[in-house]
Amino acid sequence: MFGIVRPCSHRLGEGLKTQWMAHLCGLCLALRGDHGQFARIVTNYDGLLISVLTEAQAERATGWRRTAGPCPLRGMRTASVAQGEGARLAAAVSLVLASAKVRDHVADGDGLLARRPVALAARRVAASWGRAGARTGSDVGFDTAVLVDAVDRQIGIEALAGPGTPLLTVTEPTETATAAAFAHTAVLAGRPGNAEPLAEAGRLFGRLAHLLDAVEDRETDAASGAWNPLTATGTSLTEARRLADDALHGIRLALREVEFTDGKLAHLLLAHELGRSVDRAFGSSACGHAADGARGGAGAHGPGGVLAPPAGGLHPVEGSFGPPQQGGPYGPQSPHAPHGPYDPQNPYGGGGNPFGGGPSFQPPGPGKRGFWAGCAAAIGLCCTCKVCCAEEYEGPWSRKKREGCLSDCDCDCNCCEACQCCECCECCSCCDCGL
């Protein structure tokens, strides 16, 4: 599972958590239904925003939900899941962008993809996903060529970028792709007047996604010698944070212009959780516009204009879904730490794989699986969504017990006691979104 919007189940509340899971499962099942079990591996947190936005704008009517059959990840219980054109558009976008991501990794020769047989197989998978995404996009009236074109232009822009190149020049293809996807949700929902503000929100969301990915990968890319937009253009973390805060503010302003039928979940994800994603990426709860920490952080900027952690060290965004970020959501001695003491060089534990215990070509230890057996187990985890939905699952290589993304977190969840915006999102004054 990947994506920048990873909400805490406590902050969502029971009602919105149920809705969020309906869209997540709906995206997963749309991928399986149209493209087979293996396609479910591209299910991602950000892709479901397309489904959320489509349903949020639509008139209340039957046909947006269906009852899914028993699933092992739900204790063999049925569940109401999102269906229809919103889920299928989300599936199409996820497939095309995942295809581009794989091709990019193959071109860079990352990890096992440096081996010719593996690279060949990966190219075939990427091509298959690209064609599948184009078919599904066509079925819902969306031309995925705009996504493919953006990916192709991205490669050329990165090749020419250097010190002094504006960072927004590098993020433009991503912005264009996400703007098109967001705008098409208005078409599917029968709200053409929403297309323009949603395109603006999508453009800025794409900018944020690109920026946060660059910030989070900065140190890793420097160590491996991989290309990173911040390093290549000479952009400081201070400037990157300013751009991120401006994009977040722009998204909130754009959402004011959108006519929603029920925009509670969309508002919470794009106005509130997206802000927490920015804080998580920069390791601070401070705003990039003020040195005194306008959003609660003391001393947002350290020596040399580099964003520094708040007083008391790095504090993670508590209770978020997904793997621990810098500092980890658990202290080294925490009894809740599923992976033991947090290692910043190996945030997932084991071999650095989100499934726990990553691939290793060393002989497996007692009780561990070998590389190929672990690969088979990892594919099984992906195709059954255990990583994202199960309370506990077994690491495919290490066979250690891991907590699923939806397991209980340890956050205090007092995100807005004054207006309880996590529950209602209608009369919220805890941010400048105006919703």
Name the residue range of residue 386's domain. Answer: 352-408
* Pairwise CA distance, residues 236 & 230, whole Å: 7
Residue 435, domain member (yes or no):
no
By the 8 A CB rule, do 202 and 174 touch?
no
Residue 222, domain member (yes or no):
yes
37: amino acid identity, one letter? Q
Residue 339, domain member (yes or no):
no
Please tell me whether residues 77 and 224 are part of one structural domain: yes
Residue 324, domain member (yes or no):
no
Please tell me whether residues 134 and 266 are part of one structural domain: yes
Residue 266, domain member (yes or no):
yes
Please tell me whether residues 199 and 287 are part of one structural domain: yes
Please tell me whether residues 197 and 297 are part of one structural domain: yes
Closest to 202 (Cα-Cα) out of 219, 231, 177, 229:
177
Residue 346, domain member (yes or no):
no
Please tell me whether residues 54 and 198 are part of one structural domain: yes
Please tell me whether residues 290 and 356 are part of one structural domain: no
Residue partners of 39: CB distance under 8 A and separation at least 6? 31, 32, 91, 95, 129, 132
Residue partners of 303: CB distance under 8 A and separation at least 6? none
Query: Which of 277, 305, 333 marks a domain boundary?
Result: 305
Residue 382, domain member (yes or no):
yes
- Write out the chain's pLDDT in tens, 435 residues: 568 888 877 788 888 988 998 998 899 889 988 888 888 888 888 999 999 999 999 987 667 788 888 776 666 778 888 888 999 999 999 999 888 888 877 877 777 888 888 889 999 998 899 899 999 999 999 999 999 899 889 888 988 999 999 999 999 999 999 999 999 999 999 999 999 999 999 999 999 999 999 999 899 889 888 889 999 999 999 999 999 999 999 999 999 999 999 999 999 999 999 999 999 999 875 445 444 334 433 333 333 333 333 333 333 333 333 333 443 333 433 333 333 444 444 443 443 333 333 444 444 445 677 777 777 777 777 666 666 655 567 777 777 766 555 544 445 444 443 333 443 443 343 455 444
Please tell me whether residues 396 and 255 are part of one structural domain: no
By the 8 A CB rule, do 358 and 351 touch?
yes
Please tell me whether residues 392 and 297 are part of one structural domain: no
Please tell me whether residues 170 and 101 are part of one structural domain: yes
Please tell me whether residues 55 and 118 are part of one structural domain: yes
Q: What is the count of structural domains for the chain?
A: 2
CATH number at residue 263: 1.10.600.10
Please tell me whether residues 388 and 266 are part of one structural domain: no
Please tell me whether residues 270 and 367 are part of one structural domain: no
Residue 259, domain member (yes or no):
yes
Q: pTM for this one?
A: 0.69
